[in-house]
Amino acid sequence: MEFEEKTVQRTEIYQGPIFKVVTDQVELPQGKGLAQRDLIFHNGAVAVIALTPEDRMILVKQYRKAIEATSYEIPAGKLELGENADPKAAALRELEEETGYRGRLELVYDFYSAIGFCNEKIKLYSASYLTKVDNPRPQDEDETLEIVEVTLEEARELLASGDICDAKTIMALQYWEAKMNK
Amino acid sequence: MEFEEKTVQRTEIYQGPIFKVVTDQVELPQGKGLAQRDLIFHNGAVAVIALTPEDRMILVKQYRKAIEATSYEIPAGKLELGENADPKAAALRELEEETGYRGRLELVYDFYSAIGFCNEKIKLYSASYLTKVDNPRPQDEDETLEIVEVTLEEARELLASGDICDAKTIMALQYWEAKMNK
């Protein structure tokens, strides 16, 4: 079966610091005619499941303008241009900047966050051998973060209350639950 | 601690059929000055974990223009305007349109797909009591879909090969794995 949608014309709508917006006119497969595809291009991101030796997950409370609310999320950050070659280093940097911890990272999942219209790919790592850094890298200037360490029970409560509400953090909780049941 | 970022000015960049793009100038908390937030507003979506009585998951193979590739995903669709009041009905419609199955739905997670810049919220349901519909609703005209039913082992292989590569479908696999381990 033929699936490909060939680009007939691409119009760039916006190029911003975080993402680019384009509108494609595409030719549908199987002679189905033309259609419009609005797309977001994003450089990708990294996120880290960080469990302390005391079996607590490190979460970051922060304000998210897109939803006009705070949420609790696993440490994460977008890849800067040029960082795609070494996403693990970027993940270590984010972990240290946001939480003051260093660790050893292993890739768990590599996934598109919103595949229907956006190419943002998130590399989700699990960190082990976590140690506190004496003089951690400073946080980004425009971020206001509060770091918390929660038990699995507390994490479940944050999920139930809606304070944990994003895909990557829920995936991290599912990963944690599965690990505890092994 | 103060977290809120107050909007000083909002500029609408683009209003398309699927999402709207705005640029906000915000006032950071704690007197940290101004910053720019580029945001995508989306009406939300629904997705369905559909396991057949034979313990196979129903997946939809489709082309995704944002990544210029096909992927295998759980049945899903965006909420049309006015459907927010009854997302479960929308999920049932998507399930029937895409797969020809009806079932009973239960909410599993309600999450933001890309909380850093987008307010798309996905309601992820689990379907039980699946039955084939004799004359299912037709698929959307601009969609080319292939329906497959896979075992857990086959799903794991699709994940390993990168054919399953999006957040909601990986969350569905995690849910399935957890269910099998109960």
Contact A66 B4 (CB under 8 A): no
Chain B nearest-CA distance from A31, in A, is 11
Determine the Cα angle at B141 with ends B138 and B142, to 5°: 140
For tokens 């349901």, what's the residue? B125
Sheet holding A69-73, edge to edge: A69-73, A57-64, A146-150
* B151-157 long-range contacts, CB within 8 A, separation 24+: B151/B55, B151/B56, B152/B55, B152/B57, B152/B176, B152/B177, B152/B180, B155/B57, B155/B59
Q: Under CATH, what is the fold of the domain A45-111+122-180?
A: Nucleoside Triphosphate Pyrophosphohydrolase (3.90.79)
A19 CB neighbours in chain B (<8 A) are 38, 40, 117
Contact B178 A177 (CB under 8 A): yes
Annotated active-site residue in B5, B141, B154, B177: B141
B168 CB neighbours in chain A (<8 A) are 167
Check if A141 is active-site.
yes
Region at A18 (left for phi over 0; alpha for psi -120 to 50; beta for the rest):
alpha
Residue of chain B minimizing CA distance to A17: B38
Nearest CB to A65; choose among B39, B42, B73: B39
Contact B98, B139 (CB under 8 A): yes
What is the model's pTM?
0.97
Q: What is the C-alpha to C-alpha distance for residues A29 and A2, in angstroms, rounded to an integer?
A: 6
Q: pLDDT tens digit string along B74-121?
A: 999 999 888 888 999 999 999 999 999 999 999 999 999 999 999 999
pLDDT of residue A136: 76
Contact A114, B119 (CB under 8 A): no
pLDDT of residue B66: 98
Residue A55, helix vs strand vs coil = coil
Q: What is the C-alpha to C-alpha distance for residues B89 and B178, in angstroms, rounded to an integer?
A: 26
Task: Kindly give the confidence (pLDDT) of every residue in chain A, 182 residues in length, as a single tens digit, with 9 standing for 90 and above.
Answer: 899 999 999 999 999 999 999 999 999 999 999 999 999 999 999 999 999 999 999 999 999 999 999 999 999 999 988 888 899 999 999 999 999 999 999 999 999 999 999 999 999 999 999 999 887 777 777 888 999 999 999 999 999 999 999 999 999 999 999 999 87
Give the domain ranges of chain B.
6-42, 45-111+122-180
What is the enclosing helix (H) or strand (E) of A139? Answer: none
Sheet holding A45-50, edge to edge: A76-78, A45-50, A121-132, A101-112
Contact A112 B165 (CB under 8 A): yes
Annotated active-site residue in A2, A4, A54, A141: A141
What token pair was written down for A159? 């999920």
A145–B contact, CB cutoff 8 A: no
Contact residues, A window 3-22, toward B, CB-based 8 Å cutoff: 3-5, 13-14, 16-19, 21
Chain B nearest-CA distance from A130, in A, is 25
Contact B130, B114 (CB under 8 A): no
pLDDT of residue B50: 98
What token pair was written down for A108? 């768990």
